[in-house]
Amino acid sequence: MKIKILALFLLLGSLVFAQYPANLFCNAEGLLGEPAGGIYGYNDWFTNVSFAGINNSAVKGGWITRYTAVHGSVRRGETYTLSVTVNSAGADFSYQYIGAYIDWNRDGDCGTRSGERILDVGEGYEVGKGGTHPATMTKNITVPLNAAIGTTWLRVMLDGDTPGGVGDYECLVGYGEIKDFPIDVLEALPVELTSFTASASNGIISLNWQTANEINNFGFEVERKLSDKSDWENIGFVSGNGNSNSLKEYSFTDPLDLNLNLNLNLKYRLKQIDTDGKFEYSKEISVETDLSTPKEFALSQNYPNPFNPSTVISYELPVMSNVSLKVFDMIGNEVATLVNEEKPAGYHSVTFEAGKLASGVYMYQLTAGDFSVTKKLILTK
């Protein structure tokens, strides 16, 4: 008789396990029905789970429920928001935790009733704790850059006690309710350049570009080629944002050297460099310059402004002139001499390096013959 009861017990257990991969359960949890210490039976405490394309609001009874109809989709290095809504009329959840677990390396680890911690570092997340519900809790989760490619599982659970406390599930299995959802892990997107433009004004070329996604983006080298030369030259560097899945904007100014031909068809490109040294070139863009001799003296507002630590100051000369361009603090002390020599007619630019100066408002003054003008600039550190 005991043998028959044991056989029936094992048969029922195999039917339960057949619904889920073997690595989902530890210590025969699939045979327990309502686990000891569970709260309020197996009510549907989770009324909505949303994450990376999953938006599950279906009510489905049972302690452990594994959904397969809708897959979430994530990419290495990107960040997604997990939103969990718990609803139980006035129930006291003050000692309950909403936990999440994603098996990023797909090694099949799971929770144990003994409190043994099997999950790997970075796979468990505390979404929220306690209070009176209904309530919605959120957690931003970044996909590890070394996450295994393929389908894994997101587990959301209502877990008793405190994380790591005696008798809990290390936020891996949960006492009250468990929901599992398939997640497809995809390769990281490269840096996605959505626009790259150039414009010319008074001897300055302004470059602007945008990215929609960035993975391991160290930055951009800016390269220029003259129409009468075959080689590209590196004229500057702009730091990237590392990892991002939101719109990022960048800019770079190229003050043209007067020694260049004043009527040029310049070409520019970006060399996007990853943190591991890999790189990729953007498309080439062209910009026409038609810099005829200015008709009057002029001093442009420095760009960028405010700035840190350097900015470009441009000025125009209709005739050859003795030029003085100096920077003063607000009480009249000279802090820098940028130009003090004869300059030919045309468009000129100079870079002001202010790394050793304190933050504040400064004045810069251009004197050329009888012409003199002063403007303000702002150094912000």
Classify domain 2-186 at the CATH class level: mainly beta
For residue 72, count other CB atoms closer than 10 A to its CB: 24
Reported as a pLDDT band with limits 50, 70 and 90, residue 222 is very high
C-alpha angle 185/28/54, rounded to 5°? 25
Where do we find the tokens 């393929």?
150
Q: What is the pLDDT of residues 247-303, one digit of tens each?
A: 899 999 888 765 455 567 789 999 999 988 889 899 999 987 766 678 899 999 998
Q: Give residue limits of the domains in the chain.
A: 2-186, 192-290, 298-379
pLDDT of residue 224: 92
Over its C-alpha atoms, the chain yields an Rg (Å, rounded) of 32
Q: Check if the beta carbon of residue 228 is closer than 8 Å to that of residue 267.
A: no
Query: Which of 234 and 178 is assigned the larger pLDDT?
Result: 234
The yes-or-no verdict on residue 49 having pLDDT over 80 is yes
**Residue 310 and residue 379: Cα distance in Å, rounded?**
9
Query: What's the CATH number for 298-379?
Result: 2.60.40.3080
pTM to 2 decimals?
A: 0.47
Question: Which two tokens mark 287?
Answer: 């910009």
pLDDT of residue 127: 84
For residue 155, count other CB atoms closer than 10 A to its CB: 25
pLDDT of residue 105: 86
**Residue 273 and residue 357: Cα distance in Å, rounded?**
31
Q: What is the pLDDT of residues 259-271, one digit of tens each?
A: 455 567 789 999 9
pLDDT of residue 112: 36
Cα 375 to Cα 298, 299, 343, 363: the distances in Å are 11, 8, 20, 6
SS3 call for 205: strand
Look at the domain 192-290 and name its fold: Immunoglobulin-like (2.60.40)
Enumerate the β-bridge partners of residue 341. 323
Q: Check if the beta carbon of residue 212 is closer than 8 Å to that of residue 194.
A: yes
pLDDT of residue 118: 52
